[in-house]
Each structure stands twice: as structure tokens, then as C-alpha cells.
Structure 1
Amino acid sequence: MSDRKRPANNGSAASGNASSAPGVSPDNNDGGYNAGMAVFSYIIGGIIVWSLIGWGLDNLWGTRWIVLAGALLGALGGFYLSHMHGLTSSRNTSGKRGVDSGPSADGNTNAK
């Protein structure tokens, strides 16, 4: 039984957008939740990986502070990656104008 919500993949690796970030569909409709989970996983993954590297270096060199530096470096790196993939930008995909985006289209601001 096929899932109607997902498009069929014909087994071709070229059918997806290779430059698309995790959580963002090729038509740039991220849905918010998927992009948030991708940002969360980048940051948590960076903290875990770089903390483990720091822990290993701490054991190797007999120090105790490199694991904290690794955790900070991992958090910053995860945020940097999510920012570079465009997951942290706040963009309005609905096409509607926001309240604070300027005067109304007809120029009447109802100011007295």
C-alpha cells in the first residue's frame, strides 16, 4: 500500500534536490517543525560529537577543560551549519504582508 502524502521515488538518487537542507522540501516549503528539528539535531549532534572529541583529548592530555570547549564549539558549529543551510531565517512564505512591513497598499494609514 502506498502512502499518498509522499511522492513516489523511482529509485533514482538524482530525483531529490542535492543542495536541499534536511527539513526543507525542494519547493522551499519547510513547514517549521521539520526545520526546527533539523536545527535541534545539528546543535545537539555538534555538542555530542565535539564533547566526545574533547573528552578524548582530556583523557589523552590529562586536562579537564577541553570537553567544555568542545561542547561550546559543537553548539556554535551546529548553529552555523543550520544558518548556512537557511534553516534559521524567518521568512514569510504565505505571500501576505506583515503588519509592521510599512503602509497599506492604498497609502491610507488612517493617521490623524
Structure 2
Amino acid sequence: MRNPKKSDAAANAKRRSSGSAPVDSEASTDGGYNAGMAVFSYIIGGIIVWSLIGWGLDYLWGTRWIVLAGALLGAAGGFYISHMHGLTSSRTKADGRHAPSAPSQDGEDNAK
């Protein structure tokens, strides 16, 4: 008799594969490169957007320092968003996947 769980997993892996080589579903869904690019995009995007806002305010108010404050605010905001999305954590579980960044369910602090 056929094992339905095994055949479903094989069918899902076959659908995800774009080439002729088999794809490991665990490795392809969570890549360090993708997380790094997301962090980079958040930080650079924040710098660009908030620098432009600061430049506009500098132009309106006749100052020269708000663009720098906007760039720093954008970098900090981009890093904060990356951290909140769990992209900046390097902790891993024993099986190689990322450890959860939420508090433990039992209410105890496991920090060392």
C-alpha cells in the first residue's frame, strides 16, 4: 500500500523544483543570502526615503542638518524593522533552523 504522506511530500518537492536537480525544501525556504538582502534593502531603503524627507525639510526651512538626521533615522529604522522581522538573529536550533526570538512559553527568562 502507498504511503500518502510520502507521496504528497514528493509531489510538493517536484512542484517547487524549477530545474532537473532535486531541491531540498528545508534549505531552499530559509537562506542566509535572502535574509541578508532583505536587511540590506530595509536599511538602504530607510536611508534613501528619510534622507529625501530630510532634504525636503532642509529646503523648506533653510537648514542643512536635517538630511543627516533623516539618514541616521532611516538606518536605525531599517535595522529595527529587520530585527522585528527576525532577520538579524544568528541563533540556531540543533536541527539547523533559526531559533524563535519570542519569549519562552513557560514565562522563564532563558538568557545567559
Normalised by the shorter chain, which TM-score bucket?
Answer: 0.5 to 0.7
Which residue does the alignment assign to 2:77?
77
Which residue does the alignment assign to 1:5?
17
Q: Residues of 1 paired with 2:42 and 2:52: CA distance?
A: 15
Seq. identity, %: 83
Work out whether 1:39 is the aligned partner of 2:39: yes
Supply the AA of the counterpart residue of 2:71. A
Aligned residues: 75
Supply the AA of the counterpart residue of 1:82. S
TM-score by length of 2: 0.59
Which residue does the alignment assign to 1:56?
56
Q: Residues of 2 paired with 1:69 and 1:89: CA distance?
A: 27
Which residue does the alignment assign to 2:68?
68
State the 1:92 CA deviation. 1.9
Residues 41-71 of structure 1, C-alpha deviation per residue, up to 9 Å, x if partnerless? 0000000000000000000000000000000
Runs of 4+ in 1 over 4 A off after TM superposition: none
Q: Which runs of 5+ in 2 are unaligned?
A: 1-14, 19-28, 97-112
State the 1:94 CA deviation. 5.8
Report 1 or 2 for greater relative contact order, CA contacts < 8 Å, sequence distance ≥ 6: 1
